Amino acid sequence: MSDPLHIVCPHCQAVNRVPAARLGRDPSCGQCHRPLFEAHPLELSQASFAKHLERNDIALLVDFWAPWCGPCQAMAPAFVQAAQLLEPGVRLGKVNTEVEQALGSRYGIRSIPTLALFRGGREVARQAGAMGAQDIVRWARAHLG
Ligand SMILES: [Zn+2]
């Protein structure tokens, strides 16, 4: 039996302990009782970004985007599809750099969309430019081993 994984709830940000074997069986949050995974990226604020970055035992894949950016809009459905394919091994989140400017500058985001992949609180890969769902999944898996 492997150790439980810490999974941050996308709804209430509570840190759940989920046995690895139960990760793929639609676990729900012990605090708010909503599903921990809904095959959908979540919108991250500065506070929730920090929590998901630091407290999750699974990888975090972040799409830095902005509403005025055409390629970002074009990639949005692909990112949703990628969430369906990558969860529950990876948490997918979106940072609106118009709203969360501090996050964009902290991570030195110079062009959007930019995808950044984090594990254990550290950035392990970054890719600028729009990608299709399969390419996002391949790219993420290649960097997570
Ligand atoms: Zn919750």
pLDDT digits (tens, 9 = 90+) for 99-135: 999 999 999 999 999 999 999 999 999 999 999 999 9
Choosing from 9, 12, 32, 72, which is the catalytic residue?
Answer: 72
Ligand 1 centre to CA of 5 (Å) is 15
**CA nearest 93: which of 53, 141, 43, 27?**
43
Identify the bridge partners of residue 24 per DSSP, sorted by sequence position.
Answer: none
User: Residue 34 and residue 68: Cα distance in Å, rounded?
Assistant: 32
Please confirm, yes or no, whether 72 is among the known catalytic residues: yes
Please confirm, yes or no, whether 69 is among the known catalytic residues: yes
Q: How confident is the model at residue 1 (pLDDT cuts 50, 70, 90)?
A: low
pLDDT of 78 reads 98
Ligand 1 centre to CA of 18 (Å) is 13
pLDDT for residue 3 is more than 90: no
Q: Residue 35 has which token pair?
A: 């599903």
Ligand 1 centre to CA of 112 (Å) is 30
Q: Across residues 68-95, what is the average pLDDT? A: 97
Measure the CA angle with vertex 62, ends 57 and 64; round to 5°: 160
Q: Return the DSSP state at 116.
A: E
Neighbour-count burial of 6, counting CB atoms closer than 10 A to its CB (0-12 exposed, 13-18 middle, 19+ buried): middle
**CA nearest 133: which of 90, 86, 79?**
79
Neighbour-count burial of 72, counting CB atoms closer than 10 A to its CB (0-12 exposed, 13-18 middle, 19+ buried): buried
Ligand 1 centre to CA of 97 (Å) is 25
